[in-house]
Structure 1
Amino acid sequence: MADTFDTALGMMRRADRQTREDGFQLLLASAAEHVGELIAEFERETEDHGLRCWLLELIGAAASPEALPVLAAQLDSPDEALRSWAIRGLERLNTPEARTALWRARANGTIT
């Protein structure tokens, strides 16, 4: 399983757009199995904005309670794209804690 994750992540880092998309799709099918690794990569990645967005999208797609802190933290991000993926991920998670995080962010005007 780690080989699939490493292979897909390597593909997502390539310059070729189709290879990047193929890597994303490969991970999308198994995001829940790799949520910890996805979170670690999201926190490590600082250079590639598109990759960070994809990683956050995959974290949200995992629909794992383990993703809650990362998704909730991104509600305060100055980056609109990251906020958007965090909102989608929390809506997909749909736990009381996720709904509370969304409610608080809306109440304080961080998101609409």
Structure 2
Amino acid sequence: MRSRNAVDAEGGFLVLQRIASNRVAELLAEFETETDEGVRCWLLELIGEARSPAGFDLFCEQFAVGRESLRNWGIRGLQLLATPEARSFLYERGLPRTPA
């Protein structure tokens, strides 16, 4: 995903997309150390698609960050998670509880 070649970067993302649900802890740890905002967005997307409750706190934190790209992926992660807590968090902030 860090390749400067867009095809290689996208290929890395697609490989991780297939195994994300089995690697949520690793993706969460990688997110914390990653400095590139684009890669951080991809990591949030992968964690969201995994639909693991382990991502709940991270999604909520990103909502509060203020950086629009990270905020949007945090919201999307909460929508995909669709747990009562995630739906409540979104509802209390006047956000759609399901992805568009």
TM-score (norm 1): 0.80
Amino acid at match of 2:33: R
Residue equivalent to 2:98: none
Amino acid at match of 2:84: P
Residue equivalent to 2:71: 83
SS of equivalent residue, structure 2 residue 27: helix
Residue equivalent to 2:87: 99
Identity between Structure 1 and Structure 2 (%): 48
| Residues 1-112 of structure 1: pairs in structure 2 closer than 5 A | 12-46=1-35, 48-106=36-94
TM-score (norm 2): 0.89
Q: Cα offset for 1:77?
A: 1.4
Q: List runs of 5+ in structure 1 lacking aligned partners.
A: 1-11, 108-112
Larger CA Rg, structure 1 vs 2: 1
